[in-house]
Each structure stands twice: as C-alpha cells, then as structure tokens.
Structure 1
Amino acid sequence: MATKTGLGILPILLIGGAVVVLGPQLVPGFPDLLGDLTTDTAVAYQVAPGAKPKTDRCTADQLLKQRQCDDLKVVLIDAAKMPFIAQNIALAWAEGKPFALHKGAPGSDAGRRAAVCGNFKAQFAKGSCDEYAFASTTEGGVPANVRIMEVPLREQNCQGGTLRQEYRRAGIVEGSAFTVVITNPEKIATGPYAGVDIAKEQSCGS
C-alpha cells in the first residue's frame, strides 16, 4: 500500500477476517496478535475487508480525525474501552455481516434491538446483549445482518454514548452511510466474556 502522508500507512494484516492498518513505528518481530505494537507513535486501526478499497484511498487523519473517507462517513469504536464490543464487530465482519451501515430513523432503535436481543439471556450478572449491525442502523434488527454476543453492561452503556457522539461528530443523520473503524485493535478481546470487565480504560469520555 502506498504511503499516504507524514504518518504513512504500512501493509495490512488479515486477522480474524478484518483488516488491520498499521503506521510506521513497529517493534521488530511484529507478532501475530499485535502484542508489541508501539501504540504511542503508531497509527493502528482495523476495518472490514470490504471497506478496505474505500479506506485505502484516505489518510489516517481523514479516517480518525475528520471521520470521513471521500463520501463515506466513519464511526470510531475504541477497543481499549470496549474490547468485547470490538471483538463482536470484528467477528461479525468475518462472518460477512454488513460493513456499510445506514443510520436509521430516530426512535427506531428499541424495536430493532428487541428483534435480535429480545430472547437473549445473559450468563453473568453484569452481562448484556450486544448486536452488530447496530440497532441504530437500518441493517440492525434483521437476523441475517446481525451477530449478537454477551458483553459487559458497562461496555454496552459506553457504546450507546459513543455512537451518539460519533454520529454528531461525523454529521451522520438518518439515511447517512457510514462504516466502523476500530481503534487500538491490539486491545480487542481474544476470548469470550466471562463476567470480568477487562478494559484498561473504564471511562468513555473522548
């Protein structure tokens, strides 16, 4: 992949059916699961394979700061704050769930969430049903489009506030097309939720 700007973007790695894009500052002997990523100087983010042809044409600054790649808007999900939700998104991409999402009508979230999470039974006291595609999108609520799994309730609450904030930042309104970009992909959970909130960053502030 060609270098984009001063930060640049190096070759991609296919991990768990998603595409991880890495900046130039990497520790030698880069391991399979991004364990030694130099996060203070590298730009790292994960996108769906289907989104890659579009995001390849944009710089990291456009994706992560401007929240837009040409005509496609971007929503950021931080794996450091939501490791299990980020895992669900990456696994959903690997299963072929939609990467191009469209904002649904205000107030329509509850019905779509009920359609896929209505019968969900959490295994843990602080567990909650997470769905991707999001209930706030027109793709949400359709079982063929959705992957669900249990995540910490704190993450679920964090995601709700994050999506509202991201929609505002990116100018996403009803009908807007957008895709998700996962930041801090090395923090994505590597196993199922077992009742412990493993996130190192418990705050959901920007």
Structure 2
Amino acid sequence: MPHLSMRRPISSDGAVGTGRLHDLEQTALRHKVPVEDVLLIAVNLYGITSAQDRHRARVNLRLVRRPDVAWQIIVPLNQPASPFRLRGDELSLNGEEYKVGVVAPPVTRIPPLLLGILGKMTRDIDMGDVWKKYFNKPDQLSEGQWDELVDACVESQGLSEAGCRKLPVFVVDGKRTPKIAINDKSAIDSGHPFYLHYLASSKGGSQNREFAGCGAAWGGPQSCDEYPFASTQEGGIGAQTMPVPFKPEQIIQRNDLGRFYASNKMGKGDPFLVTVINVKVKYGIYSAG
C-alpha cells in the first residue's frame, strides 16, 4: 500500500477531490481491501482540520449504514494540512466537494462522529482488525502491552494512533537483560523519554557516552549503562546511569540495538519507541525476571 506520510502536506483544495478519492478507491481495489479501511487509516494518519483547539481527541465513529455500531479512534483535530475538514456538524473530504459524514449532538466533551464514505460502506469495521492488517505488532508484546504503549505515545507526542503504531518498537526484556531493563524502566518512569531518535553516528554515540559519564570518567563497578541510549539524539548529558554486567548484558544490548537499527533501515533522526517488559515495581523497588 502506498505510504501515507504525515510529513507531506496535502492540499485541501476541493479541486483535487476527485483525484484523491479515485486514488483511495484504486488503492483499495489493488490490494483487495474495503475502501473504508484505506480511508480510516488516512484519517488516522492525517488527522482532521477544524476550528476546535484540540491537539488530539478521542472520538467515537459510527458507520452511516450501521449507526448502532461504534468504535473509537484518536486523532488530532487541528491539522491544517489534512484533507479531512470538520465544519460545524459536517465532515468533508477536500473542502466542501465531498461530504464524508456528520457530527452527532455532543454527549461528552468530544462529540461522536457519524462517518460514511459516499455510499460505499457495506460492512462493519473493527479497528482492531484494521491495525492487525496494516501494522506489525512487536513479537515480544501482547496486544494489551502494545495498546498501552501506543496510548502513551499518542498522549505524549500528539500523534495519531496510526502514526504511533507504525513506529518501530525496541523492547527491553527483564528476563534477557535484567539490570539494563531495571535501569531503562526506572529512567522512563522518572521522566526520561521513551520516544527516541536514532543518532546514526558512532562518533556522536561515543561523545554521548562521555557526556553521560560512561566514558573515561566511569570508575565502576562493572560496566556503565545509560538511558536514553548513547546511540540516540536524546542520549548524553542528563542520561540515567547504572552499573551492569558487561558480560552478558551489555554485549546482548549492543547487539540487539544494532540489529534493531539495521532491520528497520533507520537513518539519522528516525523516531522509534522503547518499552520494557518483565520488570515489576513494588514499594518503589524494581525487580526483573
């Protein structure tokens, strides 16, 4: 499926409405998926432009032909580059040319949306199934763990749910590297970011280790682990450090990160998420395994 990048502004001029709708329909036909799946993912990636001053909002969407079935989606409502425009009680595609849906009378702070797609909706949409089709859940995470991580990403970064689900996820496992997992988990819990950007510079990584205190200044014991990782733009000064075994933990972590960056073809500045599993916290004490 063609990549729908949030970095490429889309004109909301109604004159391009026919072409954009045709592109959506052709994409759906080419990949043998319902056109509504494609459009729903587009809404998630691009958000909605409206007069509402909301960086993000959780809305209940209902298909016009099945208003009794509702599902939730988290989208920004203040995306001026989005082709989806909310004016009053109407949601349209590419300005006023194509009416997509209407807004029901608000029952909470976020009004539910009644979403239709030009008479082409023929079945119910389960958003959970849509995510499974188009986004790959990290193997180490359960569905619940992935949902929790995505919710945290949406909440902290203001991205759409689809925007967070498409990000690579580096999983630190307390059963695999217990000391490092405790350091990473406690660092994230204390406010260090879990949304990181790849540095793509071995020299910069070495400098970050020095700035974090893990270089020549480290006096031990054991090996120095730092979070955020030295290989990220967030690493360096202010990173949380902890002594951990060099063998096997530091070697495992270094190899895991190297494979992660390579397998995801990450370049300078590319974002990714970090999550820690198999670490428990009780009375402020962290334990792994």
Fold shared by both chains (TM-score > 0.5) = yes
Q: Give the whole-Å Cα distance in 2 for the aligned partners of 1:49 and 1:133.
A: 21
Displacement of 1:52: 5.7
Distance 1:148 1:189, change over 3 A: farther
> Counterpart of 1:115 in structure 2: which amino acid?
F
Pick one of 253, 264, 269 that aligns with 1:175: 269
Displacement of 1:156: 1.0
Aligned counterpart, 1:132: 227
Give structure 1 stretches of 5+ with no counterpart.
Answer: 9-20, 24-42, 59-67, 200-206
Pick one of 100, 108, 120 that aligns with 2:218: 120
Distance 1:102 1:121, change over 3 A: same
TM-score (norm 2): 0.42
Distance 1:113 1:189, change over 3 A: farther
Q: Give the whole-Å Cα distance in 2 for the aligned partners of 1:77 and 1:94.
A: 14
Secondary structure in 1 matching 2:200: coil
The reply on whether 1:98 has 2:193 as its aligned counterpart is: yes
Displacement of 1:148: 0.7
Is the 2:150–2:165 Cα contact (8 Å) retained in structure 1?
A: no
Give structure 2 stretches of 5+ with no counterpart.
Answer: 1-70, 73-126, 133-140
Q: Summarize deviations over 1:61-89 as a string: whole Å, max 9, x none.
A: xxxxxxx723x332222222111111111
Secondary structure in 2 matching 1:156: helix
Q: What value does the CA root-mean-square deviation take over the aligned residues?
A: 3.5
The reply on whether 1:69 has 2:141 as its aligned counterpart is: no
Q: Summarize deviations over 1:101-121 as a string: whole Å, max 9, x none.
A: 111132221111111113232
> Counterpart of 1:86 in structure 2: which amino acid?
A
Secondary structure in 2 matching 1:4: helix
Is the 2:181–2:279 Cα contact (8 Å) retained in structure 1?
A: yes
Is the 2:224–2:241 Cα contact (8 Å) retained in structure 1?
A: yes
Higher gyration radius (CA): 2
